[in-house]
């Protein structure tokens, strides 16, 4: 039984009982037919009732891009903001209204290009936000320019001779920023995706989920080599905390550490010598090694890379406010008409 399933079974019955239909808005969903965004929306709407949070206490905040239409399609409060600024606005919402559950929906262009700085600071501050980044390795809304995650040498409308930039790795960015929960899933693996969204949403602190999302119009098949149903068991590594790193249809292959490099062990007969996944380790070293794995040299890891606890930004700010209010109140006029320097409490 997964940790997510166990957690769901302990939820008290006094909380509101909602269904997926309660989170489906009356707005027409306007994505291209076959877009991976539909799968992410469906799993989010399926997961939200399990949080047992009233709809009026949930907020979806997005920036600009195909993914950023999301707030229109979920029957909660929402804010379709400006390009790249969703994490900053979400930080303000969560700080002012800490009782709300705040989601940030962004894409590889919106979140890692113009919004990269805002994303970094939201993660380093450990604001209690659930950030879901749709990664299709292309600018889909503006019709097929290369994005910060497009592979080196990719030919697009804005790079007709191939890109000359090394792509960003969203998981490594989140690790470098100190995010306390980091996970990855795939739009087509819907059961796994729903579980990752649930675990992220129930984490206290900033949670970051990268979702490999297929853009069937401008970058079709970007993840097909390892994410298609027929091959994913052999070419993807499903991370499970406390368990050996194994993959394959029969879990026959494993991973071990050879010096400072991960090494595939084919047909590993026993778990001896295999690395055991530790998502709770405060050190980001193992998670970073896993984040660097890519097909075809390695299976592509999905699941929870990191899940640790730390004080949240919004809690610390609220504590400062409470402490300040508990002190003796100052006279505002006296402060204005007093000396040029004063003590701020």
- Per the CB < 8 A criterion, the answer to whether 194 and 46 are in contact is yes
- Residues whose CB is less than 8 angstroms from the CB of residue 149 and which lie 6 or more positions away in sequence, other chains included: 108, 112, 135, 137, 167, 168, 169, 170
SS3 161: coil
- What pLDDT shows up at residue 25? 97
- What pLDDT shows up at residue 342? 64
- Residues whose CB is less than 8 angstroms from the CB of residue 156 and which lie 6 or more positions away in sequence, other chains included: 138, 144, 145, 146, 150, 163
Spatial distance between the Cα atoms of 287 and 285, rounded to a whole number of angstroms: 6
**Exposure b/e, 46-57, CB count within 10 A at least 16 = b:** bbbbbbebeeee
Whether 332 is covered by a domain: the verdict is: no
- What pLDDT shows up at residue 11? 47
- Residues whose CB is less than 8 angstroms from the CB of residue 96 and which lie 6 or more positions away in sequence, other chains included: none
Only one residue has tokens 């905040």, namely 61
pTM greater than 0.85 (yes/no): yes
Containing 51, the helix (H) or strand (E) segment is none
Beta bridge partners of 101: 58
Q: Where are the alpha helices (DSSP H) in the chain?
A: 3-8, 37-47, 70-73, 86-96, 108-109, 116-124, 170-177, 190-201, 224-227, 232-235, 285-291, 313-326, 332-337
- What pLDDT shows up at residue 336? 79
Spatial distance between the Cα atoms of 292 and 284, rounded to a whole number of angstroms: 12
52 DSSP 8-state letter: -
pLDDT tens, position by position, for the chain (345 residues)?
A: 344 444 454 444 566 689 999 999 999 999 999 999 999 999 999 999 999 999 999 999 999 999 999 999 999 999 999 999 999 999 999 999 999 999 999 999 999 999 999 999 999 999 999 999 999 999 999 999 999 999 999 999 999 999 999 999 999 999 999 999 999 999 999 999 999 999 999 999 999 999 999 999 999 999 999 999 999 999 999 999 999 999 999 999 999 999 999 999 999 999 999 999 999 999 999 999 999 999 999 999 999 999 999 999 999 999 998 888 887 777 778 777 887 776 665
Spatial distance between the Cα atoms of 183 and 270, rounded to a whole number of angstroms: 27
SS3 210: strand
CATH code of the domain covering residue 89: 3.40.50.970
Whether 197 is covered by a domain: the verdict is: yes
Whether 295 is covered by a domain: the verdict is: no
For the record, the structure tokens of 153 come out as: 């040498």
Question: Using N-to-C axis directions, what is the helix angle for 170-177 and 116-124, rounded to 10°?
Answer: 50
Domain that holds residue 157: 3-222+311-316
- What pLDDT shows up at residue 166? 95
SS3 80: strand
- Residues whose CB is less than 8 angstroms from the CB of residue 230 and which lie 6 or more positions away in sequence, other chains included: none
- Per the CB < 8 A criterion, the answer to whether 90 and 129 are in contact is yes
Whether 33 is covered by a domain: the verdict is: yes
- What pLDDT shows up at residue 227? 95
Tally of structural domains, the chain: 1
Whether 85 is covered by a domain: the verdict is: yes
Q: Omega into 296 within 30° of 0, i.e. cis?
A: yes
Spatial distance between the Cα atoms of 202 and 254, rounded to a whole number of angstroms: 30
Closest among 70, 176, 49, 74 to 119, alpha carbons compared = 176
| CA angle at 262 for the pair 256 and 266, rounded to the nearest 5° | 55
Whether 8 is covered by a domain: the verdict is: yes
Whether 286 is covered by a domain: the verdict is: no
Whether 210 is covered by a domain: the verdict is: yes
223 DSSP 8-state letter: T
């Amino acid at each position: 039984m997964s940790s997510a399933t166990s957690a769901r079974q302990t939820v008290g019955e006094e909380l509101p009982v909602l269904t997926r239909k309660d989170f489906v808005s009356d707005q027409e969903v306007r994505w291209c037919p076959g877009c991976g965004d539909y799968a992410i929306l469906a799993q989010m709407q399926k997961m939200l009732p399990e949080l047992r949070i009233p709809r009026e206490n949930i907020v979806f905040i997005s920036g600009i891009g195909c993914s950023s239409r999301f707030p229109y399609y979920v029957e909660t409060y929402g804010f379709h903001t400006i390009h790249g600024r969703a994490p900053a606005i979400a930080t303000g919402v969560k700080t002012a209204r800490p009782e709300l559950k705040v989601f940030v929906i962004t894409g590889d262009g919106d979140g890692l290009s113009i919004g990269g700085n805002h994303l970094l600071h939201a993660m380093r501050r450990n604001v209690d936000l659930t950030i879901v980044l749709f990664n299709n390795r292309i600018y889909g809304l503006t019709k097929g320019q290369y994005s910060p995650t497009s592979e080196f040498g990719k030919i697009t409308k804005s790079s007709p001779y191939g890109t000359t930039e090394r792509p960003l790795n969203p998981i490594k960015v989140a690790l470098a920023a100190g995010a306390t929960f980091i996970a990855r899933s795939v739009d087509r693996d819907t059961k796994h995706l729903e579980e990752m969204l649930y675990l992220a949403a129930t984490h206290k602190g900033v949670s970051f989920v990268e979702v490999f999302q297929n853009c069937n119009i401008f970058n079709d098949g970007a993840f097909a080599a390892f994410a298609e149903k027929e091959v994913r068991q052999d070419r993807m590594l499903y991370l499970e905390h406390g368990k050996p790193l194994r993959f394959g249809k029969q879990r026959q292959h494993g991973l071990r550490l050879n010096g400072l490099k991960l090494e595939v062990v084919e047909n590993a007969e026993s778990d001896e010598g295999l690395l055991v996944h530790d998502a709770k380790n405060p050190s980001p070293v193992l998670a970073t090694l896993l984040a660097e794995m890519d097909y075809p040299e390695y299976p592509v890891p999905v699941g929870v890379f990191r899940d640790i606890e730390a004080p949240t930004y919004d809690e610390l700010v609220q504590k400062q406010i409470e402490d300040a209010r508990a002190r003796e109140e100052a006279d505002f006029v006296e402060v204005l008409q007093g000396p040029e320097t004063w003590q701020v409490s």
